[in-house]
């Protein structure tokens, strides 16, 4: 099995599940036991520092909490770009990793962070089965994807970057049947 950790899953137009329609998911962990990821393209209206006061004043603390997925929506996960990724509780790729719940965020050398409520999860073999269907498009992740200034445009941006026939999808309306 090839791990997809550090890759993006871009929902294809064939994926109609409302939790994942026109989303970009960063795979944070993937092995034989299953996979875990964060939806990068669903900001909420709640500021991160309001949900977790210890994030006040940190880079990204005033950004919104993102809806990371339908699993455990009451659980917060802080994704950060670290100066030294060895400080991360769980590194993902490059300088990107998770802040441990026990860490004092102000004591860490982080460049930016994003707070997520919930996550996307797949049991053993489930993600591999979905990849056999036309549900997901796998794209290499870039650190900036996790901190996109315009998360509503991230789906289009990543498809454009993938290029070829995928760039045709970037301008597809939310419901092609309405054309």
> In the predicted model, what is the mean pLDDT of residues 19-39?
96
- Count CB neighbours of 24 within 10 A: 28
Strand partners, 98: 79, 90
> In the predicted model, what is the mean pLDDT of residues 84-96?
94
Least confident span in 26-40, 115-129, 150-164: 150-164
Asked whether residue 3 carries a pLDDT value surpassing 90, the answer given is yes
Residue 2 CA: distances (Å) to CA of 30, 90, 127, 130, 167: 9, 19, 12, 15, 25
Confidence grade of residue 169 (pLDDT, cut at 50, 70, 90)? low
Percent of the chain with pLDDT over 90: 73
C-alpha dihedral (71, 151, 25, 142), degrees to nearest 10? -140
**Could you tell me the CATH superfamily of domain 7-77+116-178?**
VC0467-like (3.40.1740.10)
> Can you give the pLDDT at residue 107?
72
Query: CB–CB of 23/70 below 8 Å?
Result: no
Asked whether residue 59 carries a pLDDT value surpassing 60, the answer given is yes
Which residue ranges make up each domain of the chain? 7-77+116-178
Place of tokens 């996960």: 77
For 128-148, what is each residue's pLDDT tens digit? 999 998 889 999 999 999 999
Least confident span in 53-67, 75-89, 94-108, 159-173: 159-173
More confident residue, 19 or 71: 71
> Can you give the pLDDT at residue 179?
47
Cα radius of gyration (the chain): 16
On the CB side of 162, CA atoms within 13 Å amount to 25
> Using CA atoms, how far apart are residues 90 and 79, in angstroms rounded to an integer?
10
Joined together, the tokens standing for residue 44 give: 């909420």
> Can you give the pLDDT at residue 172?
60
DSSP 32-80: TTEEEEEESS-EEEEEHHHHSGGGTTSTTTTSEEEE--SEEEEEEEEEE
């Amino acid at each position: 099995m090839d791990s997809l950790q550090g890759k993006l899953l871009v929902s294809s137009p064939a994926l109609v599940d409302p939790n994942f329609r026109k989303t970009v998911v960063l795979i944070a962990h993937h092995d034989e036991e299953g996979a875990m990821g964060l939806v990068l393209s669903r900001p909420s209206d709640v500021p991160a520092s309001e949900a977790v006061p210890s994030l006040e004043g940190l880079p990204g603390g005033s950004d919104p909490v993102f809806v990371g997925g339908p699993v455990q929506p009451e659980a917060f996960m802080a994704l950060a770009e670290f100066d030294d990724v060895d400080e991360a509780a769980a590194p993902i790729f490059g300088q990107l990793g998770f802040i441990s719940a026990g860490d004092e965020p102000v004591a860490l050398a982080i460049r930016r962070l994003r707070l997520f409520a919930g996550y996307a999860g797949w049991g053993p073999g489930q993600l591999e089965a979905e990849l056999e269907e036309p549900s997901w498009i796998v794209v290499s992740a870039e650190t900036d994807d996790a901190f996109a200034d315009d998360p509503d445009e991230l789906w289009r941006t990543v498809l454009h970057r993938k290029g070829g026939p995928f760039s045709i999808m970037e301008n597809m309306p939310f419901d092609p049947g309405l054309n």
